[in-house]
Amino acid sequence: MIGHLRFLMETIRPELQQYFIERNVDGRPFDRDTRSLVYQRGKGVLAEKPFGTELDVNAVGYEYLVHSACPADEPDRPHTVRVGGPDCTQPYDMALLNVSAMSFGSLSANAVLAMNGGAALGGFAQDTGEGGLARYHLERGGDLIWELGSGYFGARRPDGGFDAVQFADKASHDAVKCVSVKLSQGAKPGIGGVLPGAKVTPEIAEARGVPVGETVTSPSRHSAFSTPRELVRFVARMRELAGGKPAGFKLCVGTRVDLLAVVKAVLDEGTAPDFIVVDGAEGGTGAAPLEYSDHVGTPLTEGLIAVHNVLVGAGLRDRVRVGAAGKVASGTDIVKRVIQGADYTNAARAMMMATGCIQAQRCHTNHCPVGVATQDPKRARALVVEDKLHRVHRYQRATVAEATRMMASLGARCPSELHPRMLRRRVSPTDTRSYAELYEWLAPGQLLAEPPVSWVEDWERADPDRF
């Protein structure tokens, strides 16, 4: 009866379902206004509100964008980002907002289908997550970023190592537009994942290349490489095996020394990743130790600025595109992340909410009440693919449109015209500072010519042959 009432509430009045959404969470993953925004955009409801802001604009930490007295004209079509450096023969035009990494296994088949169908309608990409390239990723025709984690699922030898032949075969599929290797995840950097044997169904076993019914553990580190130089070579090999498609890696930033070691390896080897996705420590997951979620990893703002600076300082920024993932949900989030150094963004939680997630926080129990994060076929039926794929599409389209409008309000005709002076933070009750003042920004090639005093020690410690 309650299950039927849920669908009835959606058809009668959106606010009724929102009432229950707000009472099934503790407010920690997303604030109420963000949840409401995603929900409304997915439903095609105008996300406007009377009476002005309810935020405390005088609170320390409050951030705001600086509009122009002469706004720019909005473009006729959404901006895209060309991903693919000089070693790439099949570059890809990435949307400003895409589906972040979520595996089949963590998500139900219906959730994967809905997100991929929305991506196909909207012309944006879906990251497969590290759970392999499943048939559900390929059914609806959406563009894919195939991600490999330390378990190499989908391209895995019986001993758990990387299988180059399998990888080349699957990466040749037309739907696969980019390939990526995951070094770490924002919510749980430094540890691998565990998929209990009870959840390893025949379909999941097929996608991951593992035995049915046996517990699968992802190692905390990769076996295909162990140094910055080996990482750079592995990414180049992935690109070659994929027929020249863009190849890159994802990480939650640990130390600046590690980043500098990677760029030194890039300079030595003469080849660079086509993209780097920065996952913030505030990023989500189906399950992670609470202390890892709260205390390990660099938040997205600092991690993103660090990656951007390292690439700029090494003279590599024009070759490597930067993606941002970690609590991205609104047009404001997109604009802020671009100002902080990203070229494009990825969203996971918001895309889940667009497919019906109410943040019941039962992802790890297999008892998701709305069919998003479960392998129980009866529960998965609650997610109606033909309905939810349109919500994913509407949400992404409306959010990118709002980001585009905000950029124009700031006087920027395109994302490349955004700069740190356009974003300000209140640092005291009587003082605000722009990001240009709050953070250090390197000039192109500065690390190679004369590193700033604040970077000298890290630059000298960075070793391309040791993390």
Indicate the domain borders of the chain.
80-461
Give the closest residue to 192 by CA, choosing from 151, 152, 225, 163. 151
Residue % of the chain over a pLDDT of 90:
72
pLDDT of residue 27: 40
Three-state DSSP class for residue 466: strand
Say which residue, 26 or 217, is predicted with more confidence: 217
CATH of domain 80-461: 3.20.20.70
What one-letter code names the amino acid at 267? L
- Evaluate if residue 173 carries a pLDDT over 90: yes
pLDDT of residue 22: 45
Read off the pLDDT of residues 388-427 as tens digits, 9 standing for 90 and up: 999 999 999 999 999 999 999 999 999 999 999 999 999 9
Average pLDDT over residues 12-20: 48
Read off the pLDDT of residues 57-66 as tens digits, 9 standing for 90 and up: 989 999 999 9
Read off the pLDDT of residues 88-115 as tens digits, 9 standing for 90 and up: 999 999 999 999 999 998 899 999 999 9
Averaged pLDDT score across all residues of the chain = 90
Say which residue, 26 or 466, is predicted with more confidence: 466
204: its two tokens? 């999941």
Distance CA 171, CA 167 (A): 6
Count CA within 13 A, CB hemisphere, residue 435: 22
Mean pLDDT is lowest, of 82-86, 217-221, 392-396, for 217-221
pLDDT of residue 290: 80
Cβ atoms 239, 435 nearer than 8 A: no
pLDDT of residue 24: 43
pLDDT of residue 11: 57
Residue corresponding to tokens 């997915």 = 42
pLDDT-based confidence at 56, cuts 50/70/90?
Answer: confident
pLDDT of residue 29: 52
Distance CA 225, CA 223 (A): 6
Length of the chain in residues, anyone? 467
Distance CA 332, CA 33 (A): 13
pLDDT-based confidence at 9, cuts 50/70/90?
Answer: low
- Evaluate if residue 121 carries a pLDDT over 80: yes
- Evaluate if residue 428 carries a pLDDT over 90: yes
C-alpha torsion angle, residues 132, 322, 455, 333 (rounded to 10)? -110
Read off the pLDDT of residues 302-337 as tens digits, 9 standing for 90 and up: 999 999 999 999 999 999 999 999 999 999 999 999
Read off the pLDDT of residues 254-295 as tens digits, 9 standing for 90 and up: 999 999 999 999 999 999 999 999 999 888 777 777 888 888
Mean pLDDT is lowest, of 153-162, 164-173, 284-293, for 284-293
200: its two tokens? 């390893």
- Evaluate if residue 20 carries a pLDDT over 60: no
pLDDT of residue 357: 87
Per DSSP, the chain holds a count of helices (H) and strands (E) of 18, 15
Residue corresponding to tokens 């938040």 = 299
pLDDT-based confidence at 26, cuts 50/70/90?
Answer: very low
pLDDT of residue 106: 87
Residue corresponding to tokens 């206004």 = 33
